[in-house]
A = this chain, B = another copy of it.
Amino acid sequence: MTVQELIKLHPKPPSLDPDALLRCIDTCFDCAATCTSCADACLGEGDVHELVRCIRLNLDCADACDAAGRIVTRQTAPDVGVLHAAVQACAVACRACGEECERHAEHHEHCRVCAGTCRRCEQVCQELLATISSQTR
């Protein structure tokens, strides 16, 4: 994604460990798009009534990932508490959504792929949270 290049051209030095930061930005935006798509794929399935909780959590996860992605992308005058809480909310949403998608992984390939993306996004968020904690200690 071009956004990676932009972060490197930013007038301010990155607020956090650059590798963890770039990974988090990329993964949050990808997970937001993936969950938007999985909610929509679930909505198109014949057994949509079995996928109600999955759709709901996909929509929540897309919103939490999008907010975290936008907030983490910003490098000017960051507030570490705001950053931490947004990434934390994203990690929690990814865990819940990933677990629910996993339940439908056998029947729906899109849920299987989405579960993987959510799990990876949760992990990348946790890694950034660890970086924040070690930095502010």
Contacts and interface: CB of A to CB of B under 8 A. Distances in A.
A64 B108 CA distance: 29
Contacts of A91: 85
A123 interface: no
A28 to B, nearest CB: 9
Contacts of A103: none
Interface string A16-47: 00000000010001111110111111011110
Given A1-B33, A2-B34, A86-B93, A55 B79 contact: no
As for how many copies of this chain the complex holds, the number is 4
Contact of A56 (B34, B78, B116): B78
Contacts of A116: 2
A66 B64 contact: no
Given A7-B37, A10-B37, A52 B44 contact: yes
Interface residues of A, dominant DSSP? helix
Given A6-B41, A52-B43, A92-B85, A67 B64 contact: yes
Given A2-B34, A64-B82, 20 more contacts: A2-B117, A3-B33, A6-B41, A9-B108, A10-B110, A11-B44, A36-B74, A43-B52, A43-B55, A48-B48, A48-B49, A60-B86, A63-B67, A64-B85, A66-B67, A81-B96, A82-B89, A82-B93, A85-B88, A85-B91
